[in-house]
């Protein structure tokens, strides 16, 4: 079992925030601090990112199992699970494997859909680019596109996080995302609330795709926010934290 590094702050209902690609748990620092006024917030580094150990072979399912073991080992269930982008892919796999551990699932700029053929090809080309040009040529140059405002003050801060990622880790997760399965069945089978939080200007997670996914859920909570793209925890901190806060309270009532 990999050693999972994490931070925890606050008291109350346990909430796990899973970061996106190719970041680490510190991307949640401001958001988690705000949320911890009401809840006990855990922010783990995914294996290979930040201070968590890298594991092989690495798949979305193997990463999910590591986090499930970590949750069980720290007696954090039932908890509310919120995953950003890649973190949402991992969170869906966690819920599929061990639904009883969770009182709610949040897809924060994420999706249950598998990659399209076009997206799979793009990920393969990303790996080829990294192997040819080095990891920082990739990790330092795509963050701006994740924000609706290309001059957002959060961009340099997020870029500083992404450039810390090791080449081996970035390549492994790129391939893991490419090869992950569709998990729409998880949306239909999970018995607790599911949050869909998206950005109107998110090119990677189109709002209409979230609306379609919400329609197949027994208990959906859908929010498409205007004038933001893929980084709502920076682009609209107050609004996204309040949406998540209300969602957590809703999950608690569903138990």
Q: Confirm whether pTM is higher than 0.95.
A: yes
- Rounded distance, CA 230 to CA 142, Å? 12
- Yes or no: say if 129 and 105 are a contact pair by the CB < 8 Å rule: no
The tens digit of pLDDT for each residue in 48-57 reads 999 999 988 8
Which residues, in sequence order, are CB contacts of 184 under 8 Å at separation 6+?
112, 113, 213, 216
φ and ψ of 239, to 5 deg: -70, -45
**Contact present, 155 and 231 (Cβ < 8 Å):** no
Q: With contact defined as beta carbons under 8 Å apart, do 60 and 180 qualify?
A: yes
pLDDT of 234 strictly over 90: yes
Strands (DSSP E) along the chain, which ranges? 6-9, 14-18, 40-44, 79-84, 102-108, 194-199, 220-225
Q: Return the number of other C-beta atoms located less than 10 Å from residue 131's C-beta.
A: 11
Beta-bridge mates of residue 222: 196
pLDDT in tens, 100-128: 999 999 999 999 999 999 999 999 999 99
Q: What pLDDT does residue 255 have?
A: 66
> Mean pLDDT throughout 158-176?
97
Would the pLDDT of 130 be above 60? Answer: yes
So what's the architecture of 6-254 in CATH? 3-Layer(aba) Sandwich (3.40)
The pLDDT tens digits for 8-53 are: 999 999 999 999 999 999 999 999 999 999 999 999 999 999 999 9
The larger pLDDT score, comparing residue 253 to residue 158, is at: 158
């Amino acid at each position: 079992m990999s050693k999972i590094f994490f931070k925890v702050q606050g008291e109350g209902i346990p909430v796990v925030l899973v970061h996106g690609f190719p970041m680490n748990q510190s991307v949640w620092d401001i958001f988690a601090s705000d949320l911890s006024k009401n809840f006990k917030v855990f922010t783990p580094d995914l294996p290979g990112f930040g201070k968590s150990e890298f594991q092989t072979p690495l798949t979305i399912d193997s990463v999910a199992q590591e986090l499930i073991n970590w949750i069980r080992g720290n007696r954090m269930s039932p908890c509310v699970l919120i995953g950003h982008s890649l973190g949402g892919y991992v969170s869906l796999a966690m819920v599929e494997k061990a639904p009883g551990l969770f009182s709610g699932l949040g897809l924060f700029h994420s999706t249950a859909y598998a990659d399209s053929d076009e997206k799979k090809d793009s990920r393969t080309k990303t790996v080829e680019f990294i192997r040819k040009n080095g990891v920082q040529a990739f990790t330092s140059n795509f963050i701006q596109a994740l924000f609706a405002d290309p001059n957002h003050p959060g961009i340099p801060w997020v870029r500083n996080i992404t450039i810390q990622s090791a080449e081996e880790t970035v390549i492994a997760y790129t391939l893991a995302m490419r090869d992950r399965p569709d998990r729409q069945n998880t949306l239909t089978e999970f018995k607790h609330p599911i949050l869909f939080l998206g950005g109107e200007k998110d090119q990677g997670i189109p709002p209409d795709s979230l609306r379609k996914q919400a329609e197949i859920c027994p208990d959906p909570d859908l929010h498409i926010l205007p004038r933001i793209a893929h980084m709502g925890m920076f682009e609209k901190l107050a609004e996204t934290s309040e949406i998540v806060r209300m969602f957590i309270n809703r999950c608690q009532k569903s138990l």
